[in-house]
Amino acid sequence: MSILVFGASGQLGQCLAQVAQERGSTSLVFLPEAEANILNPEGLQALFARYQPSYCINCAAYTAVDKAEDEVELARRVNRDGVANLAQFCGQHGTVLIQISTDFVFAGTGNQPLVETDEVAPLSVYGLTKLEGELVIPEYTGRYFILRTSWLYSEYAGNFVKTMLKLGREREELRVIWDQVGTPTYAIDLAGCILTIIDSGSQAFGTYHYSNEGLTSWYDFATAIFQISQTAVKTVPIRTAEYPTKATRPAYSVMDKSKIKTQLGLAIPHWRHSLQVCLSRLATLS
């Protein structure tokens, strides 16, 4: 069995490589970007013919949320058209597609944990193009898992945790938004979930939510980062309106994980526990 990983050099791709190594899994093929362009159908055709993959994990995406407001067509090409290309070849080869999506497909105007069947209403170009990527998959294959996740971080690439640690060392005070509520997701945990889906051989295809347990605001998340890492910096809570951005973010994007826990028997760690693990690993790298 071979498992193709697209977007292998990104945050989640690197986490998949780490978890696969820890589990002794040798089936994953981490493709170099030059060889694995999801916008190149001819290249994809050659890859699928060569590897005849049982699974395809798509970690490739346009994720510059604010920049996407100005680069609409580029974001759409990657997040919709690239996914369509993968779905088409997965359908032709009987390959199971695992597509990573986002909480940004929701408007986030409620106050109850979001289930997979809740109404989608993205507020940003990024959210819209990721939703378009979700919707195009069933046109080509019924053998897919769409995993919506949120607030992804890890030891790898750029993310909120690493940015806060950097700024915390440089400044005496940080202003952080407190009126956006969601759940951080340790990308190592998400990678473990993906490999568990594959190892289980589950045929319960469809859309699922995955994040760590619990909920928090960006302000409380930042405060926890500084407390656990023993970084001496003052955090000041501010409203979203005090920190304007091009793209509108969901105010409440806590996702209900009941479906994936039931289907896979997963025990999902609380966000604070996983944050402690990540910070501990980061400390050994510094």
Look up tokens 């966000």; give the residue. 271
User: Which CATH architecture fits 3-158+184-214+254-269?
Assistant: 3-Layer(aba) Sandwich (3.40)
Task: Give me the pLDDT at residue 95, please.
Answer: 98
pLDDT for 184 equals 98
Please tell me the predicted confidence (pLDDT) of residue 197: 97
pLDDT in tens, 199-210: 999 999 999 999
186 is catalytic: no
Active site residue: 55, 126, 144, 153, which one?
126
pLDDT-derived band at 34, boundaries 50, 70, 90: confident
**207-227: average pLDDT:** 98
How do residues 16-26 score in pLDDT, each as one tens digit? 999 999 999 99
